[in-house]
Structure 1
C-alpha cells in the first residue's frame, strides 16, 4: 500500500464505522474518507484527520458522487469498507415488509452498489481491497431476527462470490463477522422489536423474551467487545498482505457459530424452545443465550 491509498468507509456516524475511521485516520499512509448521511455528525473525525463526505447507501446519486470525489483525487478507491447497516427485528408474520425492504436497501443493495461503483477503478489499477462488515448473524439464526439474519446471510453469499470473481484482477475481499459489540445497535434493535407487535398479539411473549435476552447479552462485558476491537480486525483485513476470507470476532461468537454447526437443527431448535419462553427466568450469562 502506498501513501496515496484511499480508504472509503460507509456508515461512520457511530459504532464500528466510527471506530474504524478513527483508527485508520491515524495512519500516515492512508487517506481516509469517512461518510454518513448527515456529515455534521463527523466533525470529530475531521479533526482526527479523516476526510468527510456525505453518503447515503440507499441513494444512487449520493453513492456515485462519493466515489467520484475519491477517484478524482486518487485515481481509484484503494480500500472500500462496506460498514453501513442496521437491524430491524420482529417475527416473520408481523414485521412490516416496507421496513424489511428498507433494511435490505441498506444492508444488501447499498453494499452491492458501492462495490459495483468502485470495482472498475480497482480493476484498472490492478489492486484493491473490499471489506464487508457482516455479522455472526449471517452464520446462524435466532427467532424474531429472521429478516435481519436474511440480510446478513445475503452479505455472506455476495462476499463469497465476489472474492472469487475479482481475485484475477488483484482485488482481495474479506468478510468481518462480529458477535455482540458494545454500540448503539442493541438499543436500536430493541426499539424496532418492541414496535413489531401489539402487547396482546400472538408473539408478545416471544418478543418480550427476546428483548430480555438482548438486554442481558449486550449488557455483559464478558460476552461483548468494543467497537475498536472490530476496527482493529478491519484494519488487518484492509492492509494485510494475505487477508483472510473471514474474520469471526469475539470468543462468544466463535462458540455460538461452531456449536450451532455441531448441534444440528433439531437440537438447536429444542434449545431455543427452552430459552425463548414467555415465562422464562432471567437468563444467566451463557454464550448460547445472546445474539446479534
Structure 2
C-alpha cells in the first residue's frame, strides 16, 4: 500500500538512498534537508523535496504542515538527520555538545511531536528512528555522539509504549559501518578539537584504526532495505541491525563486562 513518507536528512548518505528506494517502491516520499540545493537530484527520482532545519522550530512546523496540507496525512516519519561530533569530553565545547543534541535528539523529538497528532487521528503510523550501534556501545572520542544515540534508544523505548494504543509503531534502526559523509565529518571534528592537546597522540591512533575499516563499510542500500522491511511489515520489529560489524559488536557488548569491552576497544588502536 502506498504510504506518505517524510525522511529527514535526505540530502546525502543513507537518507538520500532511503528516499530514492522508497520512491521507487511507489510511495509518496518527501525528502527533507537544510541544504536544499543538494536535494535537486532527488526530484528526477520521483521524490518530492522540502526544506527542513531540525534545529529551527518554525522550519520543522512549516515542513510538517506543508505535507499535511498537500497529502492530508503522514504515514511514516524517518528521523534520519544527524551527524557525529567527535572529540574528547574535555576538549569539545559545550556549544558544540549542545548542537550535537539539538540535531540528533531534540530535532528528532520535535519532528516526532509534530507528526503524532495526525497519526493518532488516523489511528496508524510509524516512527522510524535512525540510531546506531553507537547507541549501545561507546568508543573513545565519541562521548557526545554516543550520548545522543543512547538518548535516541531510550526515548524510542518510552515512545513505543506511549503510542502503541493509537496504532502507531516505533522502530529503531541500528547501523554499523556504512559508507557516507558521517566519518569525514566526525574525523574533521576530532582533528579540530584534539590538535595540540594531551589527547593528540591517542586521537591520531584512533583515526588510523578507523581509516583501515572505512573501505569495509556497507553500502547505504543495506540499511535502506531494513527501512523498507520495517515499513512493509504489519508488525515490525522494535529494532533492526545492519552494516559492517554491527551484529558482532552488539553481541560482544551484550556478553562482555565493561572492563573487558574497554580493553577490546583500546586494543584496536595501533601501537
Establish whether TM, by shorter chain, passes 0.5: yes
C-alpha contact 1:135 1:176 (8 A) present in aligned 2? yes
1:64 and 2:58 aligned: no
- Which whole-Å deviations, capped at 9, do the CAs of 1:144-183 have from their partners, x for residues lacking one? 1111000000000011011111010010110000000011
Question: What displacement does 1:48 show?
Answer: 0.6
| TM-score normalised by length of structure 1 | 0.90
* Structure 2 unmatched runs, 5+: none
* Structure 1 unmatched runs, 5+: 282-292
Give the 5 Å matches for 1:159-170: 159-170=156-167
| TM-score normalised by length of structure 2 | 0.97
Question: What displacement does 1:251 show?
Answer: 5.7
* 3-state secondary structure, aligned to 1:132: strand
Aligned to 1:203: 199
Aligned to 1:131: 128
C-alpha contact 2:178 2:244 (8 A) present in aligned 1? no
- Which whole-Å deviations, capped at 9, do the CAs of 1:232-275 have from their partners, x for residues lacking one? 11111122111100001136111011112212112122233433
1: CA distance, partners of 2:244 / 2:251: 11
- Which whole-Å deviations, capped at 9, do the CAs of 1:188-216 have from their partners, x for residues lacking one? 111110011233x2111111111112211
Aligned to 1:270: 263
C-alpha contact 1:13 1:42 (8 A) present in aligned 2? yes
Q: CA RMSD in A?
A: 1.2
Aligned to 2:10: 12
The partner residue of 1:85 within 76, 82, 85 is 82
Moved over 6 A (4+): none
Aligned length: 271
2: CA distance, partners of 1:215 / 1:24: 31
Aligned to 1:254: 247
1:114 and 2:114 aligned: no
The partner residue of 1:218 within 191, 214, 220 is 214
Question: What displacement does 1:123 show?
Answer: 0.1
C-alpha contact 2:55 2:102 (8 A) present in aligned 1? yes
- Which whole-Å deviations, capped at 9, do the CAs of 1:61-99 have from their partners, x for residues lacking one? 110011001111222211000000000001111111111
2: CA distance, partners of 1:117 / 1:270: 43
C-alpha contact 2:175 2:241 (8 A) present in aligned 1? yes
The partner residue of 1:102 within 89, 99, 102 is 99
Give the 5 Å matches for 1:220-239: 220=216, 224-239=217-232
